Amino acid sequence: MNGGIQLIAETKEYRLYARDNCVAMVHFTQPGNASIGSSGFMTEKGLAYLMWRRDQPLLVSKGAEEPATEEQVEALRQFAEDLKKLVAC
């Protein structure tokens, strides 16, 4: 796939993409029409989403949160940007 992004699961209308620890679900309603869900980061405690609290980035999952590193924030940002380009093709 493009930029190291891999398709890891697929159903009729949904596809799950990943690169390194970043993942996102994409809903394809019709050809050429895709809706990208929020990108998440796989942690030891499961899928976590990037949240900001008082200018501090956090990775938040069900029942847990931990500070996000600058590298994790950048990885999620770049993954979301690259995925948007990929599904627009």
Q: How many domains does the chain have?
A: 1
Higher pLDDT, 88 or 45: 45
> What is the reported pLDDT for 89?
58
> What is the reported pLDDT for 12?
87
Q: Which of 5-9, 62-66, 84-88 has the highest mean pLDDT?
A: 5-9
Question: Is 70 a residue whose pLDDT tops 80?
Answer: yes
| Contact predicate 33/44, CB 8 Å | no
| Cβ contacts of 88 within 8 Å, gap of 6 or more | 34
> What is the reported pLDDT for 33?
83
Q: What is the mean pLDDT of residues 84-89?
A: 83
The HSE-up count of residue 30 (CA atoms within 13 Å, CB side) is 0
> What is the reported pLDDT for 30?
77
| Cβ contacts of 52 within 8 Å, gap of 6 or more | 58
The domain of 79 spans: 2-88
